[in-house]
Amino acid sequence: MAQTKSPALLSRGTAIDFLALTVLWLLAVLIVNPRGDFPLNDDWAASRSVKQLVEHGVYQPAGWMAMTLIVHVFWGALFCLPQGFSFMAVRISTLALSLVGVLGLYALIRQLDRPRWLAMFFALTLCFNPIYFSLSNTFMTDVPFTVWEILACLFFVRHLQTEKNYDLCIATALAIVALLTRQLGLAIPMAFGLAFLFKNGFQKHSWLRAVLPAILTAGTLIAFNHWLRTSGRAVGAYNLAFAQMVGKAKRPLTLPLNFAHYGWVMLMYLGLFLLPIFAVVKFNRQTEAQKSRSVIWVWLAWLGLLTLTVGHYFLKTALMPVHLNILDSWGLGPLTLCDTQMLKLPHVPLLPAAFWVVVTGLSLSGAGLLVAVVVREMTRLGTEYRSRTVATQPVDSRIKNTVAIFFLAGAVIYLGPLLINGFFDRYLLTAVVLLGAFVVVTLPVIDRPLIRLRYLAGILLVLGFAGYAIAGTRDYLAWNRIRWEALADLQRENISPKQIDGGFEFNGWYFYDPKSHGPRHKSDWWVQDDEYILSFGQLAGYKIHREYQYTHWMPPYQGKILVLQRNDAETTMPGNLDGAAAKHP
């Protein structure tokens, strides 16, 4: 078995870079100011499980979230031990893991024997990815899952380089931790198996080591699901995503449409978030033989991407953001009050259309480059494998190709179920890491980066991400902080939560019921009575009971949260929601 020496990660330079990354991360968090004892987005559901575990010593998933979740809950509970449960404590648990993920990605890139400046650059690209940074300030599972995957990748790569047993043990344990956060954690050990067999050949002595991590990980998932079922904990939406995927797979004629639409959406987001990486790598020249096999596929992929974009233009969904959840037209984070989320009223200013035209252009550029790199490298690796030159390659080239296959296979396996079942933009964070690492390991970096205009362009892109991420996250926390201040004031007036439609998180925290979404004329978020509604703007049939203001940075304006009171007892919430479903992710 070919082996290579693992790069040394413990050095003075690494310590300096870790310190710099930590300081930048802390400064960004201080600007955002994540304080506040309130839930955000879906994290009220995981927080209910943490509260149950901390106060009663029992693990009980709420039923709203469809992932394995248990590691996430125990991790949050760990941070509640000093002073008991609070939303701020579980938010700090995610912030801590977020920093670990940034440092872990730096270590992963250095493990690939790439220069320090590139490791710093990629780590900052992840740190200030708007979705990653925004969700770092919540108790959602997306950032923790991505972090566990990064750490698992680090040790799987080390094993592919040196084949040391302890690296494989650590990597498998981390993959299981990721799996017990989200089921898609299976992707990484499966990708490792493919890469290991590519490196060592499809021979009997290679199979056990190749498939063992995937077997252990899958076995853990089977055992966990059995425990949930037999203990009565598999409630609510836990099996919903799998059931939906099976149902769609049974309608094969619809799958090409799903692949075309969701694939295009994926490329738009992945292209945007990987564009800074493309700015600092070089597209190495191909031999004539390689060109003849890959150029036609590259052009077909570009043509397909352009066709899909034109098609979406006529459907008025061509401008970013093309798949809403965290990245949205008004900034960052879902506006989970009744008027904006359920009634779709234009009560919040949007960012200028010109801004999104520029972002869309950047997305298309990055998507095209990603398609070109993936098609070219798959063609090259396939040609080398078919020509049976893998075993005769120099050790360094062989390891490089093996690691490239690991990252690419991981991304393909991870994204496959999302192409069938659909996804939210936040689900793509792990794919950003895997595909970014694939690009970094396959393409050479630019020489003398400090004097290159492309490097400057990459820096400007990262700075743009940072500005958007910090301002957008700060705004998201600001209006939510005011919202919960208004709700606290209502309760101090002896108004029961049952009389309030306080938005998705408030209603979910107090009244979530997996069997009911409340009366159909009311907001479909478990509302008991909507005598009082929190809103960004005025609603017919309601008068202003109280008004709260906050400062919004992006775009700059003076925002407001209204506490509205029904004019008379016979009036119900405006709008017909009979056909609405609880579509909030």
pLDDT in tens, 288-301: 455 555 566 666 66
- Position 285 scores a pLDDT of 57
Question: Which ranges of the chain have pLDDT less than 70?
Answer: 1-9, 284-317, 385-395, 450-451, 515-524, 569-585
- CA distances to 127, 145, 180, 314 from 428, rounded to whole Å, are 15, 11, 18, 26
Token reading at 476 = 């998201």
Does residue 22 contact residue 30 with C-beta atoms inside 8 Å? no
- Position 254 scores a pLDDT of 77
In degrees rounded to 5, what are phi and psi of residue 379? Answer: -60, -45
Q: Cα–Cα distance between 200 and 393 in angstroms, integer?
A: 12
Q: Which amino acid is at 476?
A: Y
Q: Cα–Cα distance between 301 and 331 in angstroms, integer?
A: 31
Longest dimension (CA), the chain: 83
- Position 324 scores a pLDDT of 77
- Position 582 scores a pLDDT of 35
- Position 368 scores a pLDDT of 87
CA dihedral 47, 49, 50, 52 (to 10 degrees): 120
pLDDT in tens, 315-333: 556 788 988 789 999 999 9
- Position 312 scores a pLDDT of 60
The pTM of the full predicted model, rounded to 2 decimals, is: 0.91
